[in-house]
Amino acid sequence: MLAKVKSVAVVGLECEEVEVETDFGGGRGGLFVIVGLPDKAVEESKERIRLALRSSGLNIPRPKINVNLAPADLQKAGPSYDLPIAVALLVSMDEVSQESVTGSLFVGELAFDGALRHTNGVLSTTIFAKQKGYKKLFVPRVNAKEAVLIDGVEVYAIDSISQLAAHLKGKQTIAPFIKSDDDEFTEEIESQADMAHIKGQEHAKRAIEIAAAGGHNLLMSGPPGSGKTLLARTIPSILPTMAMDEILEVTKIYSVANLLPKEQGLIKLRPFRAPHHTSSSASLVGGGNIPRPGEISLSHRGVLFLDEFPEFPRTVLENLRQPLEDGIITIGRAKTTLTFPARFILVASQNPCPCGYSSDPDRECTCSPSQIIKYAQKISGPILDRIDIHIEVPRVEFEKLTGDQLAEPSKSIRDRVQKARDIQVERFASEPIITNSEMSSEQIKKHCPIDSPTSELLRSAVIQLHLSARAYHRILKLGRTIADLEGVTQIQSAHVAEALQYRPKIGE
Ligand SMILES: Nc1ncnc2c1ncn2[C@@H]1O[C@H](COP(=O)(O)OP(=O)(O)OP(=O)(O)O)[C@@H](O)[C@H]1O
Ligand SMILES: [Mg+2]
């Protein structure tokens, strides 16, 4: 008989409904035909389904098997259609009734022995199920934690196709999966590299604290071995916690990218991604045949660390312009375009010149002036212009490096950052942004009032330093974050004076 079972296609971060239809007959026995733009992985599901059903004691009959995946013009990719096709076949075989599967969604990959394997995009699938009013969602057990994050849809964790068949027949019913509260969260933060072990570099640590608090982009420049990479790697230890809606946004991206750690439903810690400069443009920005999120989307709501910034190909860096401005990345496909979220803090590091020592007072730089200029030009003005904080990271003096004293631990820095972030969340409660760095010029006007001495200080800075309008706004945004770290509502001269220190040395 004709059977109809519902599943989904994950397109970007969203889902589209796919109807799986199966029937027997109309051709030579033993044939198994799938139509509806299946890719290779879907084609191969025939073998997985045949063997999975056989090893579960459910032999497919001999007549020709027809499978249609509708709508016909939507590309079906990946192995997640194994389960809905197998279930539809069970209906066609009269093993289970059509009523038992109507109103439910099925996703999952089958192993030869009939067990269910991890599948990607389950969080997006559950959100879709809720929006479309599906009552039940059947997923592999390893995906259940992820699926159950959204209330309002009954999630069934399936171990094997035979277990599911018994459930659908009403022989041995499976209870809906229940959400469990597990919290290893604080431990995870505590295990990050701690700032207490970094000697000196108070100036750099302060800049990192401001960047983390207000979501500002940061560029560190300094000679080799001065600790730039070390400093960047401690950033996760001071990042503020994510709100639940941020956690869901990030988890959705990791789920679609198939990077959600097994047995873990949520990404609770802010991401910290450090792609190498030899990474391809597609892995950084996202893309591919079936577009997948790239590193910039995997850093969403967290940090994208680009070490040795000038070594990244210029074309790759130019791709950062849109996400740095809008917090999203648009990826072109044959017929349409897709967008992925990409709101991250960019942390970049560089040497001041090819040999690395032009900013070091004690070591001779061996580069020619033209080499230095060429090196500086590797990063375009528009990219530099999107970085709020520019700092020098000098070598640490010997006395500081060899001292036993520990510096301030990350925990207490994180507490300050969290307080400043809480202030921002409250400030922007009715606006579509979360951090000071995202403020538009109107929002700056509204949220960054300054008194007359501060205004006077800014006026003379703009005139003497020939600051652009963008630089002026950048200073106010930074001033706002510095004031938030101090817990004061009015931006004062001291805050603006500190913000002025973080201007780029060139390019303004
Ligand atoms: N302030 C510091 N406190 C403690 N150790 C430090 C400090 N700075 C540097 N180090 C030590 O020096 C090593 C090199 O530092 P790091 O790799 O961060 O330098 P870098 O600035 O990234 O250099 P490069 O420009 O060559 O990439 C670190 O692994 C660490 O052992
Ligand atoms: Mg380094």
Residues 6+ apart with CB under 8 A from 154: 135, 136, 137, 176
Task: List pLDDT tens digits, range 263-277.
Answer: 677 888 999 999 999
Domain at 450, CATH number? 1.10.8
> What domain range is 296 assigned to?
186-430
**Rounded mean pLDDT of 22-51?**
89
Using a 6 Å cutoff on CB, does residue 403 contact ligand 1? no
Domain at 247, CATH number? 3.40.50.300
Using a 6 Å cutoff on CB, does residue 226 contact ligand 1? yes
Task: List pLDDT tens digits, range 288-315.
Answer: 777 889 999 999 999 999 999 999 998 8
Does residue 178 form part of some domain? Answer: no
Query: Is 165 a residue whose pLDDT tops 80?
Result: yes
Comparing CA positions, the residue from 341, 345, 325 lying closest to residue 235 is 345
With a pLDDT cut of 90, the percent of the chain lying above it is 67
Distance CA 349, CA 131 (A): 43
Q: Which residue has the tokens 């109309």?
A: 26
Using a 6 Å cutoff on CB, does residue 221 contact ligand 1? no
pLDDT band with cut points at 50, 70 and 90 for residue 426: very high
Q: Whose CA is nearest to atom 13 of ligand 1?
A: 225
Which pLDDT belongs to residue 228? 95
Say how many Å lie between the CA of residue 232 and the centre of ligand 2.
9
Comparing CA positions, the residue from 10, 77, 428, 396 lying closest to residue 226 is 396
With a pLDDT cut of 70, the percent of the chain lying above it is 96
Between 93 and 149, the higher pLDDT residue: 93
Beta strand 389-392 pairing with 116-117: unpaired
Do 242 and 335 belong together in one domain?
yes
Say how many Å lie between the CA of residue 245 and the centre of ligand 1.
36
**Counting atoms of ligand 1 from 1, which one is nearest the CA of 308?**
27
H/E segment holding residue 350: strand 345-350
**Rounded mean pLDDT of 403-414?**
88
User: CB of 24 within 8 A of CB of 65?
Assistant: yes
Q: Which residue has the tokens 């020939």?
A: 466
Say how many Å lie between the CA of residue 198 and the centre of ligand 1.
9
Do 389 and 316 belong together in one domain?
yes
Mean residue pLDDT of the chain comes to 90
Which pLDDT belongs to residue 182? 59
| Last residue within a domain, chosen from 430, 464, 486 | 430
Using a 6 Å cutoff on CB, does residue 205 contact ligand 1? no
Using a 6 Å cutoff on CB, does residue 170 contact ligand 1? no
Do 191 and 151 belong together in one domain?
no
Using a 6 Å cutoff on CB, does residue 200 contact ligand 1? yes
Do 339 and 477 belong together in one domain?
no
Using a 6 Å cutoff on CB, does residue 233 contact ligand 1? no
Say how many Å lie between the CA of residue 369 and the centre of ligand 1.
26
User: CB of 123 within 8 A of CB of 147?
Assistant: yes
Q: Whose CA is nearest to atom 5 of ligand 1?
A: 198
Query: Is 377 a residue whose pLDDT tops 80?
Result: yes
Which pLDDT belongs to residue 283? 92
DSSP, residue by residue, 138-164? EEEGGGHHHHTTSTTSEEEEESBHHHH
List alpha helices for 240-366, DSSP H.
244-256, 281-285, 295-298, 314-318, 321-326
Query: Is 183 a residue whose pLDDT tops 50?
Result: no
Q: Whose CA is nearest to atom 1 of ligand 1?
A: 199
Using a 6 Å cutoff on CB, does residue 198 contact ligand 1? yes
Do 229 and 148 belong together in one domain?
no
Using a 6 Å cutoff on CB, does residue 234 contact ligand 1? no
Does residue 180 form part of some domain? Answer: no
Distance CA 437, CA 450 (A): 17
Distance CA 330, CA 337 (A): 7
| Last residue within a domain, chosen from 139, 168, 197 | 168
Say how many Å lie between the CA of residue 321 and the centre of ligand 2.
24
Distance CA 234, CA 481 (A): 20
Domain at 155, CATH number? 3.30.230.10
Do 104 and 155 belong together in one domain?
yes
The residue type at 436: N
